[in-house]
Amino acid sequence: MNRTGLQTKESNARLNLIKAGLKKRYFKERVFRFFGMVAILTALAMLAILFVSITGKGYTAFEQTFVRLDITFDTEMIDPENTGAKDVHSKGDYGGIVKKSLRQMFPDVKDRRQKRDLYSLASSGAAFQLRKMVLSDPSIIGTTQTIWVPTDDDVDMLMKGHIKVESGVSGRIKPYKLEWIHSLKDRGALEKRFNRALFTSGDSREPELAGIWGAVVGSLYTMMVTLLLSFPLGVATAVYLEEFAPQNMWTDIIEVNINNLAAVPSIVFGLLGLAVFLNFFGLPRSAPMVGGLVLSLMTLPTIIIASRASLKSVPPSIREGALGVGASKMQAVTHHVLPLAMPGMLTGTIIGMARALGETAPLLMIGMVAFIVDIPTGIFDIATVLPVQIYLWADSPERAFVERTSAAIIMLLAFLLLMNAAAVVLRNKFEKRW
């Protein structure tokens, strides 16, 4: 009796001790949980900040300020001898025509320096635009037309509010230039329009003329080479290792190799490309061919690993069934296992390609950083790719390139999102759970 009393007393004391600690422990529990939540929210917030800051910087690049000019296609300046020949037309003084039209809009400008500032209102691309018009339709020579041409990037930035007026006055835009801009605006001769150049032209030193199309085409060629090389090679390797290879040292070496290659920094692949493909084999610099070669070596491990996982998930009963009715091993694999594993392999390939599409560093090594105006027409042409274009633009000092860089990033992310969405759809639609 006494003893049990003592015991209850003791256990009561222990219980009290536990109860006294409970509050603290529950508090700790809540703190721990809170930290977990904070961690996730931090990560999500970072993602949100990234997206918001880039779209916030970039959305204005989809518009470009245009100025309305009354252009007189003066026969004197284009084709003084009235030959009507194309090569004479293409050599006409279109810059002079633009300047003349600007002078007509602001007839009081007399000072030479002020005149130069006046000419800089319109983009230097305006002359090319006029030449193109004349070349496509020579009958406009001698007539006067109202044409919208892109403004210089300074004016564009001012209109978009990226250059503050106060700092603009002291900096690149002088007060009288500001007055002209206001007067143009009052006359309705300044307008923001959709920036077609951004999507249709190649790189340029002038922000208002620069576009991503050259880089997009370069990326497409590079990705084509990468896909054509890495998909068959990756699938063949995965099938061999998973279905045919005997378990021995040789296959172990291959496996370890693949796993290690998957974690080698991408820039090292660039060094490989530079030393082997360019210097040893003498392949052309800056070509999508070489870029594709390097990127396919880089994406191979990703594709192999995904394909093997996909092959592994096909149940053995499928193989056994095929073998049981007399198929050879190769037939069992090609007729039965491969079709079932294909969605998983394609998913892995798309993810690998998405990574390759965003890859920059190895391509810097093989010279795909050149300033390239022309749109590439083949896999041996010099070209650049979208991420490298982003890198190049991000390095440019002009304020207008910041928004264009952001716009290029938005496009790149859109491509990647599309690819990843395709991978997800493919996985959900075709992947079987056994």
Residues 161 to 220: which contact other proteins by CB under 8 A?
none
Chain centroid to Cα 109, Å, comes to 44
User: Are 317 and 371 spatial neighbours (Cβ–Cβ below 8 Å)?
Assistant: no
What does the buried/exposed string (b/e) look like for 352-387 if buried means 16 or more CB atoms within 10 Å of the residue's CB? bbbbbbbbbebbbbbbbbeebeebbeebebbbbbbb
CB of 259 to other proteins, least distance (A): 6
Q: How far apart are CA 46 and CA 41, in angstroms?
A: 8
Q: Looking up tokens 């290879």, which residue turns up?
A: 245
* Torsion angles phi and psi, residue 174, rounded to 5: -80, 160
Q: CA-to-CA distance for 127 and 161, rounded, in angstroms?
A: 26
- Smallest distance, Å, CB 364 to other proteins? 6
Q: Which of residues 342-401 bind other proteins (CB under 8 A)?
A: 354-355, 357-361, 364-365, 369, 378, 382, 387-388, 390-391, 394-395
Q: Which of 88, 309, 416, 426 binds other proteins (CB under 8 A)?
A: 416
Stretch that binds other proteins, among 68-76, 110-118, 164-172, 254-262 (CB under 8 A): 254-262
Query: What is the footprint of other proteins within residues 57-76 (CB under 8 A)?
Result: 57
Residue entry with tokens 């309305």: 68
Residue 167 CB, nearest distance to other proteins (Å)?
Answer: 16
Q: Which is nearer to other proteins, 140 or 267 (CB)?
A: 267
In the beta sheet, which residues pair with residue 149? 67
Considering beta carbons, is residue 189 or 361 the nearer one to other proteins?
Answer: 361
Indicate the DSSP class of residue 207. G
Residue span binding other proteins (CB under 8 A) among the ranges 84-92, 115-123, 149-157, 411-419: 411-419
Out of 77, 133, 241, 342, the only residue in the binding site for other proteins (CB under 8 A) is 241
Shortest reach from residue 6's CB to other proteins, in Å: 24
Count Cβ atoms within 10 A of the Cβ of residue 349 and give its class: 0-12 exposed, 13-18 middle, 19 or more buried.
Answer: buried
Which parts of 291-330 interact with other proteins (CB under 8 A)? 297, 300-301, 304, 328-330
Least CB distance from residue 414 to other proteins, whole Å? 12
Among 266, 336, 396, 431, binds other proteins (CB under 8 A): 266
Q: Which of 269, 343, 349, 384 binds other proteins (CB under 8 A)?
A: 269
Residue 266 token pair: 């991408």
- What is each CA distance from 248 to 237, 245, 306, in whole angstroms? 16, 8, 22
Find the binder of other proteins among 88, 169, 284, 375 (CB under 8 A): 284
Rounded to 5 degrees, what are φ and ψ at 66?
-115, 150
**Cβ of residue 286: shortest distance to other proteins, in angstroms?**
10
Distance of alpha carbon 117 from alpha carbon 109, whole angstroms: 10
271 touches other proteins by CB under 8 A: yes
What minimum distance in Å lies between the beta carbon of 348 and other proteins?
A: 14
Q: Is there binding between residue 32 and other proteins (CB under 8 A)?
A: yes
| Residue 313 contacts residue 344 (beta carbons within 8 Å) | yes
Shortest Å distance, C-beta 236 to other proteins: 4
DSSP 242: I
34-53 residues in contact with other proteins (CB under 8 A) are 35-40, 42-44, 46-47, 49-50, 53
Which of 88, 268, 342, 375 is the binder for other proteins (CB under 8 A)?
Answer: 268
Q: Contacts by 172-179 with C-beta closer than 8 Å and gap 24+?
A: 174/117, 176/114, 176/117, 177/117, 177/118, 177/121
| Rounded least distance, CB 281 to other proteins, Å | 5
Q: Report if residue 427 touches other proteins, rule: CB under 8 A.
A: no
Q: How far is the CB of 68 from other proteins (least distance, A)?
A: 33
Count Cα atoms within 13 angstroms, Cβ side, for 316: 1
Q: Which is nearer to other proteins, 54 or 220 (CB)?
A: 54
Cβ closest to other proteins, residue 125 vs residue 352: 352
71 phi/psi in degrees, rounded to 5: -100, 130
426 binds other proteins (CB under 8 A): no
C-alpha–C-alpha distance, residues 420 and 161, integer Å: 35
Residue list 73-112, contact with other proteins (CB under 8 A): none
Nearest-approach distance from CB 96 to other proteins, in angstroms: 25
261 sits near other proteins (criterion: CB under 8 A): yes
